[in-house]
Structure 1
Amino acid sequence: MKTITTPPGQLRPTSIALAAAMLAMGACAVPALAQQGAAPAKTVEEGLQTVVVTAQKRAQPMQKVPVAVNMVDAKAIENQQIVDFSDLTRVAPSMTLNQNPGNNTISLRGIGTFAFSIGIESAVSVIVDEVPVVQQMQAFSNLSDIERIEVLRGPQGTLFGKNSSAGVINVVTKESSDTLSGHVQVTATTDDERKVEASVSGPVSDAVGFRVNAYKVKRDGEITNLTTGEDLNGESAKGVRARIDFKPTANLRGKVIADYGTRRVGGPVQTLRAAPAGARLFGQPIAPALAGVTAGPENRNARMDTAGFTDSKNTSFSGTLNYQLDNHTLTSVTTWQDWKYNYLADFDGSEIPLLAIFSGGAVQGGFPMNGPYHSTMLTQELRIASNGDGALNYLGGLYYSDSDSERAFTRSRAGFPVAAKWDANTGNRTVAAFTQGEYKLTDATRVSAGFRYNREKINVGFTNLIPAVPARFAGASSDDVVTGKVALQHDLAKAVMVYASFATGYKGAGYDVSSGFDQSRIDRPVAPETSKAYEIGVKSRFLQNRVQLNATAFLTDYKDFQAQSSVVDPSTQLLQNAVNNVGELRTKGIELELTARPVNSLVLESSLALVDAKITSYRNAGCYLGQTLAQGCIPLGNGFVQDLSGKRLSNAPEVKATLGATYNFPLGESGYSGVANLNYQYQSEVNFDLKVNPLQVQEGYGIVNGSIALSTPMHALKVTLFVNNLFDKSYATFINDTADLHGGAHVLTQLLPRNSQRYVGLRVKYEF
């Protein structure tokens, strides 16, 4: 299915009022949320083209779906330089990322799951060619040969399952072509990236087509390790994807996709953001290890004896069959994936030889920590859907998944401070039945409703290898739940639809698998997270189909929100850093998306998300490092706690906005053409600490990206010059306070992503 989308650009408001005013200026100021690309079978000759999504597991025009969804297609992906999963924040309203050396978290409308445990599911489901990832870190990879990406905001559990309580990101790769075709693309950048991509596609016979895509990329890092002189946070990656599409009979069609990819990152490492004079690490002065390092928000130098790495290897297969009956379609989707991940990191993040100091010189080096992950998942879905022609349209299905994850962990060596060594495994078996139907009350009014019954069983095994006689803990738990959704939509005019919906969400129970695991964590697993979501919206097109305005207002209440935080252990009355249920929270706000095509050669687009994500009840939360009684840290048992009720959720910006434009132009009468894109993205300040440590705040920032491309006739050759972060605005995707390691001194570390500095690139693409 070929579609058109909306890439985002970006806008920088200095206040909420200014942001709203800029968006309201209409077609004169807008981002690129949906670039115009190849049109689907039925398109509009003038103005904006039809965008088709599968937000409800059937192909539907985006403007007719009562779901907050935006989509970017292949043209938008190319013009916006969306080459890595983290680049999606450029085009998705309300989407933010928390990237740090131990974990990566995706959040929608302020809601995501930050946890180090392999036994805790994510709140945002990532699906690639109908294969749901087991661990969210799998998603952070290169995007190559992509047809479209759909971002569904808000609980989507009725159709997509329990680990989509905050939303779904659905990635669809390109299908095989009707004629032999392909492309080769080479990219080079000023930050020393070299990338080669290639694909070939075509028919094998009248009934069978194929597509093969491969890529290889290598990039030097942007962080310099002054101890060794090497660059850190660079990457090398490669992958290949093969696809077969077949239609042996008029009623039967299917596809088989095999995907394999590897990625190695030199780090990632954090740099020093603040280092108070006299700070000591486990009693050792850190000043001698800071030669040449100037701590600050733009510090890209480090001194480390063990820089570390992360390695990942992902293999997946999916097979889909569709059988067309007279009035229904039967669908079977089978997927399997295998993900391996390993890493090595320096616990102290410095070149101070702590092991040598503590061992009197017997053992050299710092405090390394490492350990491999291994996750597998098998899924099977069967569903039946009506053909969409009658007053009543519906679908129903059955779902089964079986996933297992293993992890080993070692930190330092036995007998040394903060030593840990363990092996663990978790499992999840899920069965579900779901259905959703839509009934046309009148030609203009439709009501839809659906529910999902889900039953799952989880299990865990943990072996602490530090004692002379290893300690083994094991347990299991099960749960079942019914979630649902109801929506009412009405066409005010031919191209103006309003809707209201209510949905319940669910994210399953889990085990906090981390250092310190014992029987108490089995006896008290992390409880399921539930939600109730209310949403109203309007989707409209006007001015002869040249302006599109979509607006959504939402309110979602979460109960037993799962997060990594500090709580008082009921048996010891001591604070523990663990995954637990953070009481209740509420996220509410509005999202506006405006697209205009005043002339056929120019597309203007913008988005604005105003999100108020707050904790509504969390009274006995842990205090942040250094928090005083006057700042709300009070004694309880053998520890200290604070009341986080009313505080803003971590990594949840109040304002996110985009503004941009894409202009297509001919070069005289030669047949040559060009396309220019300029976009701007703004995000207001965030605090990376759930406990609201004021030192872990990233101030608001705006980023400008742009590109200009020239193509030969028939677009056989295309040369693109692009710039990322034109004004070289530095920002962090994670800030950490390590006062607990430095004797109370607030030594701050930060992760500066690649996109937090300017680089220029040249891309050459040849199509045949």
Structure 2
Amino acid sequence: MTLRNILLGATMLCAATAPAYAFAQDAAPADDAAAPAESYDYGNEIIVTASKRSQTLQDTPVAVSVTSAADLQNSQIRDLIDLQSSVPSLRVGQLQSSANTNFIIRGFGNGANNAGIEPSVGVFIDGVYRSRSAAQVGDLPNVERIEVLRGPQSTLFGKNASAGVISIITQKPQFDFGGSLEASYGNYDAIVVKGDVTGPISDTVAFSIGGNYNRRDGYARDLHLDQDVNDRNRWGVRGQLLFEPSDALSIRLIGDYDKIDENCCIAANIVAGPTMGITDALVGGPSVDRENPFSYDVYNNFLSENRIKNYGGSAQIDYDLGNMALTSITAYREVRSFANQDSDFTAADLIGRKSDDVAINTFTQEVRLASDFDGPVNFLVGGYYFNEKIDQKNQLFFGDDFRPYGNALIQAASGGALNVPTLEAALGARDGDPAQYIDSFFRSGDGFDEAYRLKNTSWSIFGTLDFDITDRLTFTVGANYTQDRKRFSTDVVSTDTFSAIDLDAPQYAPFRNQLILGGALQQAGVNPNDPAAIAAFATNPATAAIFQQFVAFANANDSNPAANPLNGLKAFQFLPPFLNVPNAVEPGKTHDKDLAWSARLAYELTDTVNVYATYATGFKASSINLSRDSRPLASDLPAIEAAGLTTPNLVGGTRFAGPEESEVYEFGLKGQWSVAALNLAVFKQSIKGFQSNIFTGTGFALANAGKQSTWGVEFDGSVRPVDGLNLTLAMTWLNPKYDSFVGSAFGDISGTKPAGIPDLSASMGATYTHRFADDSRAIFHVDYLYESPTRMVDGLQGFPAGFSDQFKRTVNQLNASFTFALSNGLELGVWGRNLTNARYLTTIFPAVAQSGSVSGYPSQPRTYGVTGRFKF
């Protein structure tokens, strides 16, 4: 049996969804000369630009998945969050707001929850880098295809592509007049409208303009506020001009504006800890829907806000120099993002305000020159410049219920010996003013007022060199030298009085002495609040010696931090004074440089089968901790103390996480036959210094893992057993681990498997197109996504080791659509996503300031609807 037959037979056994390799839905019309080129494109004949050259998918020796416009339409993929149902190596998670979305490829990815952390997965739209998730999530009109490049891509992309790239390509303006209009209606009163029109302005100038509107009622219910929540409300416009004054010169101008104004995102209660009794008592009823995450019933005391404006423009110039091509892409973008959320996720007014107001301005410039010589050597060389400014203002204030809540916490932690008024009076008296703290602990409106600034400039020089050793064997080497500089500053003020008190301070020794002695007496059965009982115990000959031992112990330990009876209260000093940066010890800047490189051999075994072997490195610069959890490095604390900069309750942490350096060893095979196609990749990939950002219940811990690695296998295949039927399958198997992670938020977790990465992901499906005599078509599509059970988090702060292992996520999602397309351009269809109403938690985390409780984000429920579309 020949190699060709073995590969073809294996592919024909597979049936399922890898739209990247899907065959065209339209059979070629009888008059081939009149058929548009795309009617013939299927499988690896799709043209991609993953290597920054136009090549067929088969000839591109890179692990890349391509989702076409037809795939997006059939699967009702609205935005990048839905894209993961078609690309198993990709995971997309939306967290606490519409502006916090995390992209993960092959188990590697970060970037949400902090504007100072750039993603490990770079997102590019028409060649323009979108640096933050708020600038990436949207409903783009006129998408031509989406390419997902897996593994380090730093040698071809100028900024932060250490784990992979998502490249979105939209359609250029056309010199033939045309367009489309689409409208959908679904459950939860979902309305989606898209439209575009394109055509000539003159013989050398063409235009296109498109718009989209997407709204939906909330699928969850806030029982406390009696309101639907988790709605969707977003719209955008996008205009383009294409100038082609000659055959050699092309200028493409793009401008766009997108807006989001919606309520997102609900968090459900997973574990109801001991504080739930307190919050229930504060509201006089249920404060959460206890341990029932898929009821989609929540209790909050104010509605969340998510408002995002994302706009900008770009200019791409392509100039044909004969056997070389020059390309320039210039872009300027702005993002304005505001979110305010009831972050305690209870009906009690604990967090009265938790807002993030972020402004990001980005300028990028890329220039590259690519050769197209007839000889054995070709090259691509380019330069990239990146300039970004971030201004961020955050606020975190206590609500009206936090004082009684804090009082209950202190009573519970002290065994009833203390409460807030007693503590205020006792500490104030030892500070010389008994009234100074009265009614000031956990006061409504107190908290953090924060301002951060970050300026990032980066430049890189990159290039590749292709050498044809034979007419079938090509050797490629590439490199990218990058320099990245960041300057950052903070202006953070805490007005939380209790968090500013040093409970180990010497003036409180008498108070601590009293508490130590009282605790000992209580253990001996003597009421420490009864002077007569104490006097009797102290003078009784049988117990007098014991009393003196108690006194001696209290005197010896009232200044011993390890024996401080107030230690249990330190956990409630949620918002300590902040040491701002830059200061005399910390300059508030980073400077990174790196040379990333790659080497690849690509061999054309036959006219239909190619293989390649690649070694590549990648790089991502330092990320800055622009949050209230920014802390000096522990190694800087002695110098800070020597400089007299120490603030009360200052502890070590991180101001930034150092660079990520990735590498991959990869072997790939690509095959293309008349009725089938397949792509196979086997790889070992690792990242040194992976930037981990873990929520601890009161904040985020940003730290570098020593090394995280995974090896895996990716398979994409498609087969057309009969005319009109296309079956596809995409599978990813991963075996990840932390090779070294000593300083994680949960201690040394070296040797363990990173959470959130399923061993097996598979996307499978089928599309059947029946063409009628009048050239009308009936198109049926179904796809299914499976992710094997996986632990959701590496650990949960405040819980014993292994507690989080019980929380696992399994994904089973079924999507389907049926479309009837008339020959006049009118299409009518029905569709559904998550038709089995599969439910799972996307992530879990310790409940905010509620020790012992766990919250999580539930997946979206079943959605379905009808669509009408007209193409002209």
Corresponding residue for 1:119? 116
Corresponding residue for 1:172? 169
- Separation (CA, whole Å) in 1 of partners of 2:374 and 2:53: 13
> Aligned match of 1:411 in 396, 402, 415?
396
Corresponding residue for 1:726? 835
In the alignment, structure 1 segments of 5+ residues that lack a partner are 1-22, 355-365, 568-574, 624-640
- Separation (CA, whole Å) in 2 of partners of 1:291 and 1:480: 51
Corresponding residue for 1:210? 207
| Residues 843 and 856, structure 2, Cα contact 8 Å, conserved in 1 | yes
Q: Does 1:562 align with 2:558?
A: no
Once the two structures are overlaid, the 10-residue window that deviates more, 695-704 or 60-69, is 695-704
- Separation (CA, whole Å) in 1 of partners of 2:284 and 2:380: 66
Once the two structures are overlaid, the 10-residue window that deviates more, 184-193 or 48-57, is 48-57
Letter in structure 2 aligned against 1:26: M
Give 1:297 deviation, angstroms.
Answer: 3.8
Corresponding residue for 1:491? 604
1:97-149: CA deviation from partner (whole Å, max 9, x where unpaired): 23210532100000001553322211000011122112123222223221110
| Residues 242 and 252, structure 2, Cα contact 8 Å, conserved in 1 | yes
Q: Does 1:473 align with 2:473?
A: no
> Aligned match of 2:677 in 538, 548, 552?
548
| Residues 784 and 815, structure 2, Cα contact 8 Å, conserved in 1 | yes
Corresponding residue for 2:357? 372
> Aligned match of 1:53 in 48, 52, 56?
48
SS in 2 for 1:346: coil
> Aligned match of 2:328 in 321, 325, 332?
332
> Aligned match of 1:453 in 476, 481, 484?
481
Give 1:54 deviation, angstroms.
Answer: 0.5
Aligned-pair identity (%): 27
- Separation (CA, whole Å) in 1 of partners of 2:635 and 2:144: 43
Letter in structure 1 aligned against 2:442: F
| Residues 318 and 325, structure 2, Cα contact 8 Å, conserved in 1 | yes
| Residues 276 and 287, structure 2, Cα contact 8 Å, conserved in 1 | no
- Structure with higher helix content: 2
Letter in structure 1 aligned against 2:599: V
Letter in structure 1 aligned against 2:177: L
Give 1:598 deviation, angstroms.
Answer: 2.1
Give 1:576 deviation, angstroms.
Answer: 8.3
> Aligned match of 1:741 in 821, 843, 849?
849
- Separation (CA, whole Å) in 2 of partners of 1:222 and 1:559: 41
The aligned runs of 1:38-187 (5 Å cut-off) are 48=43, 50-101=45-96, 103-187=100-184
- Separation (CA, whole Å) in 2 of partners of 1:72 and 1:614: 30
| Residues 659 and 689, structure 2, Cα contact 8 Å, conserved in 1 | yes
SS in 2 for 1:645: coil
The aligned runs of 1:178-257 (5 Å cut-off) are 178-257=175-254
Give 1:415 deviation, angstroms.
Answer: 5.6
1:287-311: CA deviation from partner (whole Å, max 9, x where unpaired): 9442793532412001111121111
Distance 1:687 1:737, change over 3 A: farther
Letter in structure 2 aligned against 1:671: D
| Residues 380 and 401, structure 1, Cα contact 8 Å, conserved in 2 | yes
Larger Rg belongs to: 2
- Separation (CA, whole Å) in 1 of partners of 2:614 and 2:207: 41
- Separation (CA, whole Å) in 2 of partners of 1:303 and 1:621: 32
The aligned runs of 1:649-664 (5 Å cut-off) are 649-664=754-769
| Residues 408 and 423, structure 1, Cα contact 8 Å, conserved in 2 | yes
SS in 2 for 1:706: strand
Query: TM-score if structure 2 supplies the norm length?
Result: 0.77
| Residues 380 and 399, structure 1, Cα contact 8 Å, conserved in 2 | yes
Give 1:733 deviation, angstroms.
Answer: 1.5
Once the two structures are overlaid, the 10-residue window that deviates more, 322-331 or 496-505, is 322-331
- Separation (CA, whole Å) in 1 of partners of 2:870 and 2:37: 28
Give 1:267 deviation, angstroms.
Answer: 2.4
Give 1:183 deviation, angstroms.
Answer: 1.4
SS in 2 for 1:621: coil
> Aligned match of 1:701 in 811, 819, 842?
811
| Residues 224 and 231, structure 1, Cα contact 8 Å, conserved in 2 | yes
Letter in structure 1 aligned against 2:869: K
Corresponding residue for 1:349? 345
1:709-749: CA deviation from partner (whole Å, max 9, x where unpaired): 001114x11001001111111122222232x733x43x222
Distance 1:389 1:702, change over 3 A: farther
- Separation (CA, whole Å) in 2 of partners of 1:286 and 1:98: 33
Corresponding residue for 1:713? 823
1:593-631: CA deviation from partner (whole Å, max 9, x where unpaired): 1111223311110011001121111234333xxxxxxxx
Give 1:45 deviation, angstroms.
Answer: 5.6
SS in 2 for 1:685: strand
Distance 1:609 1:701, change over 3 A: same
1:42-76: CA deviation from partner (whole Å, max 9, x where unpaired): 67969757111101111111111110001011111
Distance 1:257 1:47, change over 3 A: closer
| Residues 447 and 488, structure 1, Cα contact 8 Å, conserved in 2 | yes
- Separation (CA, whole Å) in 1 of partners of 2:806 and 2:245: 58
| Residues 47 and 597, structure 1, Cα contact 8 Å, conserved in 2 | no
In the alignment, structure 2 segments of 5+ residues that lack a partner are 1-8, 29-34, 399-439, 497-576, 583-587, 637-654, 796-801
| Residues 319 and 333, structure 1, Cα contact 8 Å, conserved in 2 | yes
- Separation (CA, whole Å) in 2 of partners of 1:613 and 1:728: 29
1:183-207: CA deviation from partner (whole Å, max 9, x where unpaired): 1111100121012111110011111
Corresponding residue for 1:760? 864
Give 1:688 deviation, angstroms.
Answer: 3.1
Give 1:37 deviation, angstroms.
Answer: 5.5
- Separation (CA, whole Å) in 1 of partners of 2:108 and 2:383: 28
- Structure with higher strand content: 1
- Separation (CA, whole Å) in 2 of partners of 1:605 and 1:143: 25
Greater length-normalized contact order (CA 8 Å, ≥ 6 residues apart): 1
- Cα-Cα RMSD: 2.6
Corresponding residue for 1:532? 663
